Structure 1
Amino acid sequence: MQHKSSYRLSLLIVFLLSPFLLQAQITEFKDSIIQISGITMTADSLKAIPAVSIIVRGQSRGTIANRQGVFSIVAFKGDTLTFSAVGFKKKNYTIPATLPGNAYSLIQLMVEDTTYLPATIIRPYPTREEFERAFASMDIPDDAYEIARKNTEAGRLRALARVTPVDGREATNMYMKRQAASLYYAGQPPPQNIFNPLAWAQFIQAWKRGDFKNKDDN
């Protein structure tokens, strides 16, 4: 009996204190969020660096500084921000966990990353005649205009038309036309062009032009 009374008293205490515990957790969560606003600048001349990427390490969240190098990002206290830009060394900034308030201003200085390339020595041709000979025999690659002109030549298009198979749309249209022609004269013999005066007129004109002559005779 005494055990049941203690259990009920514990439940009552937890029930009465739960709103205060929940409020404390909410307050702690709000206190851990912070908005970092600032500007990225060069360390030597204090010039603004645009398009700097600011990423929260270990998370898929980040932002990019604008043209004036100004940025703003929301993170948790204790997170690490990684600053990166082309031509500059990466810089990490860890937000202090004991930072007071929910807003903080930051000026992030970045150092230029200098890359040294191997030396290149340019030597001229020994004589003018050798330079002219090398220049005349130089193979200059075709530009986009020349490539387009070659691809649209009439002879090239005719050669491609002979070997290029029809696509699905063309094959479907040809099949539908054959079906329509066969169904148009269904139940009766199709007409013969031998009795068509227009076909005879075309034949006579082609014969007068010499379309049926042997090419070897020409």
Structure 2
Amino acid sequence: MKYNLTLILLLIVTGVFAQQIPTGNRLVQFSGVITDVDSNNVVPYVTITNLSNKGQMYAANYKGYFSFIAHPGDSLLYTAVGYSKTTVVIPAGLKEDRFTVMVKLKLEINYLPAVRVYPWATTEDFTKDFLAMKIADDDVEIARKNLSGQSIRTMGQTLSRDAGEISNINWRLNHDRALNKNMVQTNPLLNPFAWGRLMEQIFSGDKTRQENN
């Protein structure tokens, strides 16, 4: 009888002490996926900071998935470049040893004021460059320069011939060859008058040398 009474008292005391154990000493497997709140696309490499556990930090993978050990009641801060910060609190009254969430991050848009960039440091520098600026020619001036005699002569020397000019030159050459095709070229060696003039020049040269001697 005493043994049974002692066992009952021991069970009651154990239950009382078990209820007095703080929930922070329990461990849960905390897992989830991080997505964009607008597009539902995963947000990779998000930094997760456990604010309730001395700022211990974790990181989600390239698919936005994370899984680590935490305590019920912990506050987790989610931060990513270009997104607003989000805090998730693990429920303190969890009965299971695992907890899964779907974390949504909102894209952060920062509107910056318009900035005008001027290439001149002072008004005097702008005035100086403006007065020295060369104004571009209008269409009439450009046409006048292109139709000037010097411009046309330069283009005539540098521009290549077109197909029409090449065709006309070939036609003239072929025509000249056709006209001179049946013409016989004289051979000066067969001309007796040429031989006579040659002998006369030779004799005149010999006579001149004899007179000089």
Measured against the shorter chain, the TM-score band is 0.3 to 0.5
Q: TM-score, normalised by structure 1?
A: 0.45
Q: TM-score, normalised by structure 2?
A: 0.46
